[in-house]
Structure 1
């Protein structure tokens, strides 16, 4: 079912009425005010306003932050909020975000200026986290306390309005029984108030519903009243963030947000070495001393390919297979020319996307000394690092590409992931890129290079290539069975006193030790899968297009990756409507998205972007060579061409990078109804609200390096 988002900005005719100006078509167009596409965010340093700021920043939506805790902050008065440009009245902000319904002292001239501004220009206000009280359109709280684990619901008004991209449920996280993570005030609308709840939860011990998010219309103003506290990482905020932004902007704003998920499967055609539960290392790999243990390879079978194909069809999702051709060549040499896995994968090659992972998965950074653990870089007589040669890197890239082409794999020849992301810097052993890497990338026309987000999170240039950071999933490359995964997990995440490695003790800033080792029979499904699902789904809901990566071993034997992938995909489908699908991009398209965002953010942060709306026309001015991004109502045109693509009831996308001025024409809309109802101006400051200690924190974790 198609859902639309209620228009929250007045049409030209209605706004002329507010300003006392004639509303005839010609005169309205000439005298319509200019409304700049920028949000005013007033912060008290709390997590709620910080969360909304992060949402705007990630989407690329310009905002001006006024920090109430700073003595040198600007005063919020009429001159700060509006002025005149070329004889036309200008509203400098299209929306106002406050930490609560009135964060100022009693009788504040700043609150009076904001109220007058909102009335004059029909500017909506978001109360990021406020106490339930009549001044906010609500009765005093029927309940004030923890809502950890509560399953809230979007109301019918919310689904037909700003939260129509959700299926209905808004589950609140409960990650720790010992930490209060969320706190809320639940209340019904005040008698006589024109208040519409958008998200509600049941008051404990009763059947009464209390509002968590709702719209209050009064005094010619509109407020989105939020009565629960949150931070930017919590799932409940991530689910509602899009609707908060679309409500305050009326679905007309710079920037865009979508939910992305891509999964790379590394080492396809090759075999991965297996974790040894007795030695606590991986024979055949560098974490075991030379000669320790006996390698035990994990490699997919044709049945695993059949399962992957069926799984993709069921979930309408495409995996990216990151392949090493030598794995198949070696298999055929050892088995009289037979490689049933390769035969099945090649037969089904068009069911997947494919990425070059080098021919033999060789390490392409420094020459490694693996006689010690951890390994070190070899050095020459003069003490300089010995590097893998340019010709070796060339051969690894080109030979694998040729093998893939001979097998008919549908390749993008400018994409590459090196084995272990090698060639790129790896701290602490290799503090710089292999100087031979960039020339070899140029030799082979590589434009997009995979990197490890846990080591190299920022997109950067390596010669002609732009990096695409990938999230390592905590499903280990050297585990084909759940018992192996749990055993290694225990080794990494328990203290020395409990039989672990103590890595978690040595790195408290990035890792948290388990209170006790996990049971090898139940720990995977009961602990690792839910935690990894939550982490990965958190990336999905954060407008983050970076891909995740696992290994072919995780699709073999116990197929341990699928419970996590199912958790992300099935969990997502249960939360979002059909018009808000997961976006599943290949690597070069992810790289392009990230590169465009970086250029746009640089321009926005430098004050080089100006955007405003006059009537049904939106004008965006940005530096030449910078693509602009916007979210606008369906039916918007850019010049004579339809703009963007549909997502969550609106359209969004990028403009061409050429030119400096882009002019959008919005579809005409019926005039919005004027606010009405009880008049309860917030003349007194909002009461102090409670923020649990845990709500300002993100649950720490360490990804698989």
Structure 2
């Protein structure tokens, strides 16, 4: 579905003039030139004069989508910010005392960067605008103009002077040499603006020629003109620095997601709390088990409760062959990527007994077992929640005589977890006992039939040492506790478990996403969050030409959005037409074309993903409670947080961590910086980092 960006709402008086009030700095503060050099302090200033710069961002919010997008990036990264809502009559006034003060005799800048909806949201020459510009000059604080039009006030020619204004959908932009040498060096160079719906204007922009003092970071060829014009660039003037963005966007569009990291790194000068990485993990459920097949005549899956006329057994089930298993191992080696095999050993044993005691698929997967990660999926994939009463459609939870819900017992759940794990250990699988994916995420609440977790689930998890239990992100996107365990939300992929061929995929997709008049279920017509296909997909080509690009784009959006949630499909998607591979191939190929080698895809295990969410929640709680203090003075960064809280920090290459005696290299490299979740060292009450000079 297309995401609508804001249309242009900025106008000029035809002359492009705006006035800036002058200001004077006192002798007690540092010179602007020294501050602008590093954003840290003037070399000639004494230690008492060198300012403290708090690691917090000021966001002036007018409610438009570009501001919301940048704010979302700050929050997902873990950067603290103060939001001033321009639409709130009771908002604070921007004054010198709101922006700065003195702490222990040292001048303090309360914000390391400022995000504005445009270059002068308070009005050029107004008291608030003047206070803000004076603050930025005095302390060397960068400013992001989230979206503005091209005019000399932001260092650009008017579009009438060799530029252009209009829809950017489908146009290719490039990161300039200056952009790659600076905050946008994690990108390979070129990217294309999304054009998901030709009938919708998705991104409007102003392509303009730079003036003196303007350095372009992202260019696009001037449509119907010559040369290139800027869409993102830095305007250095009057002792200040502005990052000027001249195209509209929202937080979901790929072009913003690609540039978001660079906007934040430019704003913070590469020194900030929080970290952001690009994650992609894929869980393959039902390994060793067969999956039921979609019936293209009945438009349902035989054996499902709502499949009228089904015999309960289904059509020929879908199961990987030994050749499919060999292909999976080779695909991993070719792509340097590890799949998580989510297995049901008991279902595999049943298959083997029904086929003369021979199972070459399992033999091949076990031969290659060390090439995968393995996750417990229960022994035979039963439903671990309430006992399902299938006498009605949809099913309901069976009741005891007293009217209470009848649940699977703790002992039965525990046996499913224990037996599957023990089988894996006996076969030498490289397992992490703490990880679990239940069949259909069962045991967890399932609305509307089962509004609460099976009360016996938490005890069974504890019995088996489970700390991380998978949940369905489409139902529960946030991590939560289940007894002593925590959930790990997973993104479902629209590569259906009950299809083995591309034609079956297209047929089921048509049933779900076409109108009743076009032969579909019509469900899309009654769902406000869904959109019907304009025409049914061609069974011969629909999967490759429509579904694969759609699903790859969705998954890539998660990958580049600092979202560690794993994606999940099923072993059936590695069988027959091997439908999962084209989606994964496109995600990885498109990623490689967009990002530089210094920004590889992270491929974490389920426990690592759960830990990441747990740390993020604790960090956000500490920020919300006001229990984090972070600032830099010169080249020293100091952070205090509640005891035991992991602190996420991003800093330039060459940063060291202060030990009680001596220093050590800080963090690990990623996207041209170093970052880590860290804590103060032994006998230290604060985290201290030393920035490179």
TM-score by length of 2: 0.92
CA distance in 1, matches of 2:90, 2:251: 27
- Give the Å deviation of 1:17: 9.6
1:150 to 152, 164, 171: 171
Report how many residues are paired.
Answer: 655
Over aligned residues, Cα RMSD in angstroms? 2.0
1:356–1:415 Cα contact (<8 Å) kept: yes
- What SS does the aligned partner of 1:52 have? helix
* Corresponding residue of 1:163: 184
CA distance in 2, matches of 1:653, 1:287: 49
* Corresponding residue of 1:535: 554
- What SS does the aligned partner of 2:46 have? helix
Residue-by-residue CA offset, 1:241-300 (whole Å, 9 max, x unaligned): 000111111100001100000000000000000000111111123342563674321000
1:613 to 608, 632, 636: 632
Matches within 5 A, 1:261-272: 261-272=280-291
- Give the Å deviation of 1:660: 8.3
* Corresponding residue of 1:230: 249
Whether 1:349 and 2:369 are equivalent positions in the alignment is yes
Question: Bigger CA drift: 545-554 or 109-118?
Answer: 109-118
2:691 to 653, 667, 674: 667
- Give the Å deviation of 1:23: 4.2
* Corresponding residue of 1:76: 94
Question: Bigger CA drift: 205-214 or 539-548?
Answer: 205-214
1:449–1:466 Cα contact (<8 Å) kept: yes
* Corresponding residue of 2:436: 416
1:483–1:521 Cα contact (<8 Å) kept: yes
2:510–2:520 Cα contact (<8 Å) kept: yes
- Give the Å deviation of 1:395: 0.9
* Corresponding residue of 1:185: 206
Distance 1:11 1:384, change over 3 A: farther
* Corresponding residue of 2:422: 402
- Give the Å deviation of 1:198: 0.5
1:332–1:338 Cα contact (<8 Å) kept: yes
1:388 to 390, 394, 408: 408
- Give the Å deviation of 1:16: 10
* Corresponding residue of 2:195: 174
- Give the Å deviation of 1:495: 2.4
CA distance in 2, matches of 1:71, 1:595: 37
2:677 to 654, 659, 675: 654
CA distance in 2, matches of 1:604, 1:365: 37
* Corresponding residue of 1:578: 597
* Corresponding residue of 1:361: 381
Matches within 5 A, 1:463-502: 463-502=483-522
2:383–2:443 Cα contact (<8 Å) kept: yes
- Give the Å deviation of 1:363: 0.6
1:625 to 635, 641, 644: 644
CA distance in 2, matches of 1:440, 1:399: 13
Whether 1:514 and 2:537 are equivalent positions in the alignment is no
- What SS does the aligned partner of 1:30 have? coil
CA distance in 1, matches of 2:201, 2:285: 39
Residue-by-residue CA offset, 1:286-336 (whole Å, 9 max, x unaligned): 342563674321000111111111111121110000000013211221233
CA distance in 2, matches of 1:43, 1:21: 29
2:140 to 108, 122, 126: 122
* Corresponding residue of 1:66: 84
* Corresponding residue of 1:7: none
- Give the Å deviation of 1:170: 2.2
- Give the Å deviation of 1:431: 0.8
Matches within 5 A, 1:209-608: 209-289=228-308, 291=311, 294-508=314-528, 510-608=529-627
2:680–2:686 Cα contact (<8 Å) kept: no
- Give the Å deviation of 1:594: 0.5
Question: Bigger CA drift: 499-508 or 614-623?
Answer: 499-508
CA distance in 1, matches of 2:575, 2:39: 68
Matches within 5 A, 1:193-212: 193-212=212-231
* Corresponding residue of 1:36: 54
Distance 1:615 1:389, change over 3 A: same
- What SS does the aligned partner of 1:286 have? coil
- Give the Å deviation of 1:505: 2.5
CA distance in 1, matches of 2:601, 2:267: 24
Q: Unaligned stretches of 5+ in structure 2?
A: 1-29
CA distance in 2, matches of 1:565, 1:176: 23
Residue-by-residue CA offset, 1:503-561 (whole Å, 9 max, x unaligned): 223321x3222222211112111111111111111101110000000000000000001
Distance 1:248 1:595, change over 3 A: same
CA distance in 1, matches of 2:636, 2:216: 32
- Give the Å deviation of 1:497: 2.8
* Corresponding residue of 2:122: 104
1:150–1:171 Cα contact (<8 Å) kept: yes
CA distance in 1, matches of 2:666, 2:36: 28
Whether 1:85 and 2:108 are equivalent positions in the alignment is no
TM-score by length of 1: 0.90
* Corresponding residue of 2:3: none
Higher relative contact order (CA 8 A, sep 6+): 1
- What SS does the aligned partner of 1:29 have? coil
- What SS does the aligned partner of 2:290 have? coil
CA distance in 2, matches of 1:21, 1:512: 54
Distance 1:313 1:72, change over 3 A: same
